[in-house]
Amino acid sequence: MGTRDLLFLTLICRLAWAGTMESCAHRCGERLNKAADCQCNHQCERHKDCCEDYEKLCTSQEEPKEMETETEWEEEAAPDSNLYLAPNSCHGRCHETFDKHHPCHCNSKCQRFGNCCEDYESLCAHDGFSRSSDAITKEELLTISEKIYKADINKARKEDIILNSQNRISPSETNDQVDRCPEPLYSYVNEELFSKPTYAAFINLLNNYHRVTGQGEHFSPQQLGEQDTFLQEIMKTAVMKELYDFLHQKNRYSSEQEFVSDLKNMWFGLYSRGSDERDSSGFEHVFSGEVKKGKVAGFHNWIRFYLQEKKGLVDYYSHNYDGPWDSYPDVLGMQFNWDGFYKEVGSAFIGSSPEFEFALYSLCFISRPGRVCHLSLGGYPVAIQTYTWDKITYGNGKKYIATAYVVSSTN
């Protein structure tokens, strides 16, 4: 092939590539692509830079409206492909987000595009379990979540919490950083709740972390013991017994000891979210909250919010979502300032016991890792989004929890 032919072929390829950058074909959900003429993720609607076929190809009325911003996930949990060699196996990668740097893929679309890894079928076709009977169906998730909901006898009663939610705003106003609520969110909380064993064990964990990412976590023997105490206390509850029995029946765990050990790893295992320091964990992010790049990350727990608000460290700004429940647990999507750092949307269960939140997030992470998980609570639909931490694994290729939070659902 001559030089002119090579130049001509290169020009044709570039024009073809440019054409793909003007369409959402095979691009739905991709991260911000600065080289593209238009974008194909949820944020493009806000920034007015969607491709013309975005709505046709990428949106669905059945998808839940996320109350958490995608930006948070992209900044905190997206793997940096330069940090490790591109894998050629689906081991520990089932349902992960598409990464163009990988030679083969392990998500539900790889079969359509013919780029699955060789072991995709055996490892991922049924949520990583070889027998279809082991796969957890949507109907089973609805059933077990209702059982967990009914088993939460430690939840707050209606008279235990008085909320003062004040101004509700539209989703388009969540990034305004305007305090529209002069009064605190909590007018009253019956703190006798906090003397219950699971509450007390949970609260003991909240101050064991440096909230700014980049500062390594170093637990004392006492703090490590507090993690074990929390797991021991919640495993005594009907909520966690329901969850374990369900997962045991689905062949996910052969014993309660194995289940507890895995919970400790996935929730409390440390990884690096900011630098080379082991500075974060699923528990710290979701329940205690973190600060990264000047913004609040995670912080999805009502008890933590109340205790910080009581100390004058949280300033409640507004809410943009209120769940349909007329008793506890409820769901609220909030905007707030945490000691100088803003949270655009902090979704949280309100009035639930620690074991209830821990159980639902664990259920969704185990059954639908990195995806939206549809549940039912008291007859109302709710959805939980989880994400896996993809940079490192534990055990036999298992992944840590990067984040988990409630999203509104209409299905």
Task: Give the residue numbers annotated as catalytic, written as ranges.
Answer: 285, 300, 343
User: Which long-range contacts does 367-372 make (Cβ < 8 Å, 24+ apart)?
Assistant: 367/127, 367/136, 367/141, 368/127, 368/136, 368/141, 369/94, 369/95, 369/399, 370/95, 370/96, 370/97, 371/95, 372/63, 372/64, 372/407
Distance CA 388, CA 381 (A): 23
Which DSSP category does 280 fall into? Answer: B
- Burial pattern 355-387, b for ≥16 Cβ within 10 A else e, equals bbbbbbbbbbbbbbbbbbbbbbbeeebbbbbbb
- Antiparallel, parallel or unpaired: β 380-394 and 372-377: antiparallel
Residue among 141, 345, 166 nearest 247 (CA): 141
Residue among 267, 247, 265 nearest 256 (CA): 247
Q: 389 has which bridge partners?
A: 400
Which is it for the CA torsion 228, 231, 234, 235, positive or negative? negative
Q: Are the C-beta atoms of residues 273 and 76 closer than 8 Å to each other?
A: yes
- Burial pattern 127-138, b for ≥16 Cβ within 10 A else e, equals bbbeeeeeebee
Encoded tokens for 34: 């600065």
Distance CA 235, CA 253 (A): 15
Residue among 136, 124, 125 nearest 92 (CA): 124
Distant-in-sequence, close-in-space partners of 318: CB < 8 Å, separation ≥ 6: 166, 167, 168, 169, 173, 178, 179, 180, 181, 334, 335
